[in-house]
Chain A
Amino acid sequence: MASNVILLVEDNPDDEALTLRALSKNNIKNQVVVARDGVEALDYLFGTGAYSGRDAHLIPQVVLLDLKLPKLDGLEVLRRLRADERTKLLPVVILTSSLEEQDRLRGYDLGANSYVRKPVNFNQFMEAVLQLGLYWLILNERPPLQGV
């Protein structure tokens, strides 16, 4: 089953606050679940660990994934969720400060749908979040659910 949850995987509290602010300022009312490290993210997605008891079939609408995460790296999270049948087609937007070519390459290689660089300027950030919201939450057609 699909939910409208936006999973935000971000360890930096400032960035987390700013992203939430940008989302709300852009009138994006979807529920946002924040995971502060890679393990928490996977726990949420698969209903394990801290999130055991959550129905793992309720997959989010989009994942906003930062790369520099403690415990489990962003790219590793991406690899694992692409490896699982349930989350293989889940739209993942890498939202990160880094514009390093190797990160982009590996991100796309591991199956990220999109790669967005977080701008320093907050106005630009707001604009970016608006665009992302419009696209992934409204314009984009979700992948059909499997095994449900």
Chain B
Amino acid sequence: MLRVPDSSISRRLTWMNMLVSGVALLLSCAAFVAYDRVSFRQTMVQDLSIQAQMIGSTSVSAVLFDDPRAGEETLAALQAAPNVLAAGIYTPQRRLFAAYWRGARGRDLPLPSLPLRQTQAHWFGDGELALVRSVIFEGKPVALVYLRSDLSQMNARSRRYAEIGAAVLLASLSAAFLISWSSQRAISKPLVQLAQTARIVSRDKNYSVRATPPGNRDEIALLVDSFNEMLAQIQSRDGALRMAHDSLELRVQQRTAELTASNNELEAFSYSVSHDLRAPLRSIDGFSQALLEDYSAKLDAGGQDHLRRVRAATQRMSVLIDDLLNLSRLSRSAIRRETLDLSALAAAVAEDVRKSDPARRVEFIIAKDLAAEGDPQLLRVVMENLLGNAWKYTSSHPQARIEFGASQDNGRRAFFVRDDGAGFDPRYAGRLFGAFQRLHAATEFPGTGIGLATVQRIIHRHGGKVWAEGAVEKGATFHFSL
């Protein structure tokens, strides 16, 4: 399960907030401190200037009366100013009149030059502030005062500001953290919950859960509502799908049951046909024969002919019944799918067919190594019918040629059996595969017309197609695909 405190949205929001407040704070601190430093420098200069003026005014008489000791005493008062490092009074000729050093007596005190017509000038440098001021008495410059101060005050001030700033920054950042931490929950918590809910839905495929909307009506609430609505739709569709699936299953079951029932009925029907229809036929034939044998003296040629026709008709009917039974059995039997060598099968069937009349001159051309997938027994029936037909319909020719091979039909593999026998009129090709349909008289070629119907039924059960080409006396080609 997800743990809310560690999710990335929460952290990102918090860090974002802290960053914003941190940056704002830093910028304002920096601005403030910079301004303060600038203005403090000005203040420092002012203070030093005031000190210089005071020194100047008090040392005027000392200079005028050329009393360096008085000047030094005046300067000694600077002891009270902790920042002043050194000071000096100079004559207008820039001769050092009196000097003062804080601490040990230092080096000489070079006087920086004062720009023309300026009463005062100051310089910041080397960690010191230097100031020179000209003393004016009764309109005339009588002395120059030079003061040097360190920047320790300013530095101390800056450092203090920095410390305060840091403390404030820390405090505000912590406060910002806490505040943003608690407030981001308002945003990230519903999002995280939403993500969690989505994860549960997709993992468990449970469409009945819903995300809890947050209290306020913002975009997140909108998202949650839309999400819930989507879930509701999915749930209802899923339910509908399930119902449809169930009802379909039910219908399939019903149909299967119906189909099985009808198949069973067909089985029973075929059984009774095979039994019950044949018995009367046998009687008809048997007693006709008995009549012919026992009462041939009493029957004239006409009567005998009638009986013979009766017997012939019963024979035909028996064959028809058998063919019908076989055809119906084919539709009911299960198909096995195996890979088999069609060439070998064709060759074997050709051999059998040849044995029925070894005297005939027939050439069999069978392509080698043609494999196919299908039910071996049913395909044998197909080959027996096709090759048997080819054999039968070339019987009127002195010699014949029967081929078996493979061809292409729109990119799909197909097979064919071709003969150069009696052929058929292509105008009637549509009737070729009908049950009991024949295009030749029984006197020309025997048969019931069930062979091709059987072939078609088998090929269709394999999901293939069967079709024929031919012309009268030019032979026929029967193609099939599996």
A18 at the interface (CB under 8 A from B): yes
CB within 8 Å of B: which A102-144 residues: 118-123, 125
B467 at the interface (CB under 8 A from A): no
CB-CB < 8 A to A99: which residues of B?
A: 274
CB within 8 Å of A: which B51-78 residues: none
Question: A35 vs B288: C-alpha distance in the bound complex, in angstroms?
Answer: 25
Question: Chain A 16-37, CB within 8 Å of chain B: the 1/0 string?
Answer: 0110010000000000000000
Say whether A97 contacts B279, CB under 8 Å. Answer: yes
Q: Closest CB of chain A to B287's CB: distance in Å?
A: 7
Say whether B289 contacts A123, CB under 8 Å. Answer: yes
Say whether A14 contacts B283, CB under 8 Å. Answer: yes
Question: A99 vs B279: C-alpha distance in the bound complex, in angstroms?
Answer: 13
Say whether B287 contacts A14, CB under 8 Å. Answer: yes
Interface residues of B, CB < 8 Å — how many? 22
A55 at the interface (CB under 8 A from B): no
Say whether B274 contacts A14, CB under 8 Å. Answer: no
Question: A119 vs B270: C-alpha distance in the bound complex, in angstroms?
Answer: 17
Give the residue name and chain of the B residue nearest to A22 (CB).
B286
Q: If the complex has contacts A14-B283, A118-B282, are A97 and B275 also in contact, measured as CB distance less than 8 A? A: yes
Q: If the complex has contacts A14-B287, A21-B290, A120-B314, are A125 and B282 also in contact, measured as CB distance less than 8 A? A: yes
Q: If the complex has contacts A98-B274, A100-B274, are A121 and B285 also in contact, measured as CB distance less than 8 A? A: yes
Q: Which of B278, B286, B289, B290 has the most CB of A within 10 A?
A: B286
- Total residue contacts A-B, CB cutoff 8 A: 63
CB-CB < 8 A to B274: which residues of A?
A: 97-100
Say whether A120 contacts B315, CB under 8 Å. Answer: yes
Question: A15 vs B287: C-alpha distance in the bound complex, in angstroms?
Answer: 10
A68 at the interface (CB under 8 A from B): yes
Say whether B285 contacts A15, CB under 8 Å. Answer: no
CB-CB < 8 A to B279: which residues of A?
A: 12, 14-15, 97
CB-CB < 8 A to B283: which residues of A?
A: 12, 14-15, 18
Say whether A121 contacts B315, CB under 8 Å. Answer: yes
Q: Closest CB of chain A to B451's CB: distance in Å?
A: 19
CB-CB < 8 A to A98: which residues of B?
A: 271, 274-275
Q: Closest CB of chain A to B72's CB: distance in Å?
A: 146
Q: Closest CB of chain A to B324's CB: distance in Å?
A: 13
Say whether A14 contacts B286, CB under 8 Å. Answer: yes
B318 at the interface (CB under 8 A from A): yes
Give the residue name and chain of the B residue nearest to A96 (CB).
B275
CB within 8 Å of A: which B280-303 residues: 280-283, 285-290
CB-CB < 8 A to A12: which residues of B?
A: 279, 283
Which listed residue (B282, B311, B314) contacts A15, Cβ 8 A? B282
Question: A21 vs B288: C-alpha distance in the bound complex, in angstroms?
Answer: 13
Q: If the complex has contacts A121-B318, A122-B289, are A18 and B282 also in contact, measured as CB distance less than 8 A? A: yes
Q: Closest CB of chain B to A115's CB: distance in Å?
A: 14
CB-CB < 8 A to B318: which residues of A?
A: 119-121
Chain B residues within 8 Å of A, Cβ to Cβ = 270-271, 274-276, 278-283, 285-290, 311, 314-315, 317-318
The contact sample of 27 A-B pairs, CB cut-off 8 A, is A12-B279, A12-B283, A14-B279, A14-B283, A15-B282, A17-B286, A18-B286, A21-B290, A97-B274, A97-B279, A97-B282, A98-B275, A100-B274, A100-B275, A119-B318, A120-B281, A120-B282, A120-B315, A120-B317, A120-B318, A121-B315, A121-B318, A122-B282, A122-B289, A122-B311, A125-B282, A125-B286
Chain A residues within 8 Å of B, Cβ to Cβ = 12, 14-15, 17-18, 21, 68, 96-100, 118-123, 125
